[in-house]
Structure 1
Amino acid sequence: MTTRFFCLGFSFVCLVVACAGIEGLNLWPVPKSVSHGSQTLYMNKDFGLIFEGSKYTDASGILKDGFSRFLEVVEAGHVIDDNSTHLDHSSLLQGLNVVISSSDDELQFGVDESYKLSIAATGSPRYVHLEAQTVYGALYGLQTLSQLGHFNFTTRMIEVHHIPITIIDEPRFFYRGLLIDTSRHYQSLPMMKNAIDAMAYSKLNVLHWHIVDSQSFPLEIPSYPNLWNGAFSLSERYTMADAAEIVNYAERRGINVLAEIDVPGHALSWGTGYPSLWPSRDCPEPLDVSNEFTFKVIDGILSDFRKVFKFRFVHLGGDEVNTSCWTTTPHVMKWLRKHNLNESEAYQYFVLRTQKIAISHGYEIINWEETFNNFGKKLSPKTVVHNWLGGGVAQKVVAAGLRCIVSNQDKWYLDHLDTTWQEFYMNEPLTNITNPMQQKLVIGGEVCMWGEHVDGSDLEQTIWPRAAAAAERLWSPYDNLAKDPKQVTGRLAHFRCLLNQRGIAAAPLAGPGRVAPEEPGSCYKQ
């Protein structure tokens, strides 16, 4: 098989790479392998979904809903005419035949996301064939198929190019994440759902929900109902039913939701409802390590989480802990002396005890890298270390036998508006990790949308298309990735325009994060 991807002939960067006039597929992210021809077929207006030889019954309707979304995005709001009588019958695609090997549709970490998508050169009637081990692999196949179909303004039908075509595809990393921070600025449920939709288009599969922080506690916790007194306002809150809705919405698109409580630091807002969680009113952060109530509250939160957040992992934070309040508050100092602990040892005690609470609720743990930098192998072996401070940490983590997620802030922090999409694309999670067993311990990566300067007015254009650039790095085989971002500029520009057509406010490529179009012109030239 051959794999050929080139930028659009009319993209502004195509002049640099001289790809004008060369046939291109413009699929994003680039699949594992592709072979294709040059025919064009048309989707019948009654293009339907067929299960022949599939063990999967779709009792939950996940595939049916995915197919409906596929039709919606590929039609892009246009009115489809029934002009099939004017076309040769052999040029019509009658439907999509899906064969799924597994009857199970439980979404968990490491679920098989592979698929094979094919359209033959001949046949009557003609169908698109999609094979997958799981329904989630089939959903990714639908995302790829949606990029092959385009509305034809002459025939008023959806045309599919590059027939015959065979695509065999699977992700490089199991964990492909996007962090959204709802504590610095509240994000509405519709905004969260739009982000989930765009993640699915890009083949990202973990929404890291940084729900609470020092500034606000917007989530209802039934076990401790006063916690969300720390919300910014009465309307900037999430009920547990809201959280369940986000989890269900994401799961039906193949996306897990990772919930985070960041302890013991970044927790000032907790004390609005329960002031005894503070060491003192004058020195309120980090959480009071000497108070048993602190750990009862954490236990209650994680107990309530388990009823809604079904992902294998929970994120416990652990970063940027300034322990000075512990050493300047008399009752905490008394407790430290009683237990013969200094402030660093108390920090370790807090982190390890919180990990044990999470494990008791059936979770594996993710912690920010400071916990590893300070405590190393003392962390639970179920810990995944979340890198953020810079390069080189992943090497140390996997050498210690722990798993790692890469989010180094110099390349994959979306709030760094001076970081270009090219830098997002070229950031390699396995840098300087050559041992195959250690490479497997890098479970993936995540781009982070911290919310200090982002709300509903600018969320999407700050995330996209830079997050999509990282998405290809995390999905596509290493050998298929471009060695120079110029080689993919046109294809990413095409995907950015596709996001715009689907209602996602992705910013132009011509600049760093969150820029506006410079002048009138085609979307593909911005």
Structure 2
Amino acid sequence: MRSVLLVAAAAAAKQPPLWPLPQNYSCSTQKLTVIPSPAFFRVDAGNDVLAAAAKRYIPLAFPHGWGAPGVGLPALSVVVDDGVGATERAARRPRRADDAGALYPALGDDESYKLRITATSATLKARTVWGALRGLETFSQLVAYNFDTATYQVVACTIQDAPRYPHRGLMVDSGRHFLPVATLLHVVDALPFAKLNVLHWHLTDTQSFPVETPSRPSLWRGSFSKRERYSVEDVKRVVERARLRGVRVVPEFDTPGHAESWCSGYPGVCPSPTCKTPLDVSKAETFAVLDDVLGDAAKLFPDAFVHLGGDEVDTSCWASTPSIQQWLRAVLRARNWTTADAYSYFVSTAAKIARSHQKRPIQWAEVFDEFGATLDKSTIVHVWKLSTNITEVVENGYDCLVNVGYVADSWYLDNLDVTWAQAYASDPRATVPPHLQTKVLGGHGEMWGETVDGSDFDATVWPRLAAIGERLWSSVDDVDAAWPRLEAFRCLLLERGVGAAPLNNSMARAAPVGPGACTQRRRRI
């Protein structure tokens, strides 16, 4: 036990107290006094993202008031040399008319930054506002309050940093348990602390269709209750909160399976009252409703991606529904189709509809497992099954996202017995040949919602999500060196109002095993 602690302490001593660990850093032990003020972060006030961040990071960096008066660093100068061209910038503008001048984060944005702190100055330089946000988070974690002197201190550092993967996220599931808007805003606030930049919002499932769709106003009759719904304005609030933090919001409308909730508002899209899914592949109405849903989503979610699900499709309802069998027989005479071909027709038509709304479709691994290279090359394959060959996916020209579930190092956060260290051991590109590794865009922690709602969300997700965040951002994989840094980061999350569970839990969201959970180091699990 003592030797494990000594190894971890020795490894950690070489690393700055940051999570995730920067790619390149040189930090001294010299402690510099910082003099906080409301204008400490000097940014371009005309940039709404930076202006909002400057205000937001004052209480995050200086949580104990202004400290004692003295001499020290009076400011962090933030310089953004936006390398985004005018054409690309215009292409990223939202489809909503009410904020048509806003800039939204997108896949492939330059999130690099350089932070330099000396005895006489502190400067943060970035190519884009998104890189500047990541650098502000790093600076805020370097600042420490000395309670004996009532002063803030920071160590002299030069940090040059950039993410390893462009797509680093968390999936939340509001179809199994409704997550109030306040919970979603809280989730969005916390993601940048671990430099995560995607909220994958699994909006609908078998149990609930909670979101307002103006073109099809009866759909949210499939919600759990009239209180457990998201209005258009609710969605806008979440998307805007995320934008200001450099977080993309990717909606998911799971079809044709996991879609019984669609039947409450539009029963015609389902095979029959007693056999409701997959959605009825034989009816034009089904695809008209889907077209309207994705059209409304395109107006609310500016991101270029939309998730279409496509997983766990059992076609037995199609095989047992007379009208669908009649349709299939008519098709069979012309094309020799089976229910498997009907499944292919559905997912390819759904993807075509998404592309018609200028959205790039993401579909779960089953779609590739079933239909392979016949998928349109714009499709992003979301790998969650151990049986899916990731190398085969990318060799066939597809980009993919990876978070394999039901294994020891799963990134499925509903697997409560998977520890942070096990999640930390997983690398999405581990089996992919070097020349194809850029086809793996990144991955997510997946918080499927059967046993989680606003009451236990934080402690179920954190700090395991932070472990995933470091693997997606950094090039390190040393669990022993990560352990003390993650313990400190977990305590920082608690200070910031994020209810992260202790690291030494054998099961997620378990209570601390004793007093002093942030100060008494215990056996690593």
Instruction: Give the structure-2-normalised TM-score.
Output: 0.91
1:67-78 superposed matches below 5 A: 67-76=54-63, 78=64
The answer on whether the counterparts of 2:198 and 2:247 sit within 8 Å (CA) in structure 1 is yes
1:455 aligned residue: 453
- 2: CA distance between counterparts of 1:94 and 1:16? 38
2:100 aligned residue: none
- 1: CA distance between counterparts of 2:242 and 2:12? 39
- 2: CA distance between counterparts of 1:14 and 1:109? 39
The answer on whether the counterparts of 1:74 and 1:151 sit within 8 Å (CA) in structure 2 is no
Between 1:244-253 and 1:508-517, the stretch displaced more is 508-517
Letter in 2 for 1:213: D
1:133 aligned residue: 127
- 1: CA distance between counterparts of 2:12 and 2:164? 31
Letter in 1 for 2:377: P
Shift, 1:12, TM fit: 11
The answer on whether the counterparts of 1:13 and 1:489 sit within 8 Å (CA) in structure 2 is no
- 1: CA distance between counterparts of 2:135 and 2:20? 12
User: Does residue 515 of structure 1 match 2:523?
Assistant: no
2:96 aligned residue: none
User: Does residue 79 of structure 1 match 2:65?
Assistant: yes
Shift, 1:18, TM fit: 4.8
- 1: CA distance between counterparts of 2:512 and 2:271? 50
Helix, strand or coil for the counterpart of 1:29?
coil
Taking only the aligned residue pairs, the percentage that are identical comes to 43
- 1: CA distance between counterparts of 2:453 and 2:4? 32
The answer on whether the counterparts of 1:173 and 1:475 sit within 8 Å (CA) in structure 2 is yes
The answer on whether the counterparts of 1:83 and 1:156 sit within 8 Å (CA) in structure 2 is no
Shift, 1:353, TM fit: 0.6
Shift, 1:13, TM fit: 6.1
2:273 aligned residue: 281
The answer on whether the counterparts of 1:45 and 1:157 sit within 8 Å (CA) in structure 2 is no
Between 1:17-26 and 1:390-399, the stretch displaced more is 17-26
User: Does residue 431 of structure 1 match 2:411?
Assistant: no
2:380 aligned residue: 384
Shift, 1:444, TM fit: 0.7
The answer on whether the counterparts of 1:412 and 1:446 sit within 8 Å (CA) in structure 2 is yes
User: Does residue 501 of structure 1 match 2:495?
Assistant: yes
User: Does residue 348 of structure 1 match 2:344?
Assistant: yes
1:394 aligned residue: 390
Letter in 1 for 2:498: I
Shift, 1:128, TM fit: 1.4
- 1: CA distance between counterparts of 2:496 and 2:456? 17
Aligned pair count reads 494
Shift, 1:47, TM fit: 6.0
1:413 aligned residue: 412
Taking a change above 3 Å as real, the CA distance of residues 187 and 345 of structure 1, as seen in their structure-2 partners, is: same
1:267 aligned residue: 259
The answer on whether the counterparts of 1:47 and 1:95 sit within 8 Å (CA) in structure 2 is no
1:6 aligned residue: none
2:25 aligned residue: 34
Post-superposition Cα deviations, 1:223-278, rounded to whole Å, max 9, x if no partner, equal 00000001101111000111111111001100000000010000000001111111
Taking a change above 3 Å as real, the CA distance of residues 493 and 51 of structure 1, as seen in their structure-2 partners, is: closer
Post-superposition Cα deviations, 1:471-526, rounded to whole Å, max 9, x if no partner, equal 1100012xx332xx122111111111110110000000112322210111241436
Helix, strand or coil for the counterpart of 1:316?
strand
1:128-277 superposed matches below 5 A: 128-160=122-154, 162-163=155-156, 165-277=157-269
The answer on whether the counterparts of 1:313 and 1:366 sit within 8 Å (CA) in structure 2 is yes
Post-superposition Cα deviations, 1:271-325, rounded to whole Å, max 9, x if no partner, equal 0111111100011111011111100010000110111111111000000000000
The answer on whether the counterparts of 1:224 and 1:297 sit within 8 Å (CA) in structure 2 is yes
Shift, 1:44, TM fit: 1.4
The answer on whether the counterparts of 1:48 and 1:94 sit within 8 Å (CA) in structure 2 is no
User: Quick one: which of 99, 114, 117 aligns to 1:116?
Assistant: 114
Between 1:23-32 and 1:418-427, the stretch displaced more is 23-32
Taking a change above 3 Å as real, the CA distance of residues 12 and 184 of structure 1, as seen in their structure-2 partners, is: farther
User: Quick one: which of 34, 47, 64 aligns to 2:51?
Assistant: 64
The RMSD of aligned alpha carbons is 1.8
Helix, strand or coil for the counterpart of 1:236?
coil
2:98 aligned residue: none
Shift, 1:339, TM fit: 1.1
- 2: CA distance between counterparts of 1:393 and 1:178? 23
- 2: CA distance between counterparts of 1:385 and 1:62? 31
Letter in 2 for 1:400: N
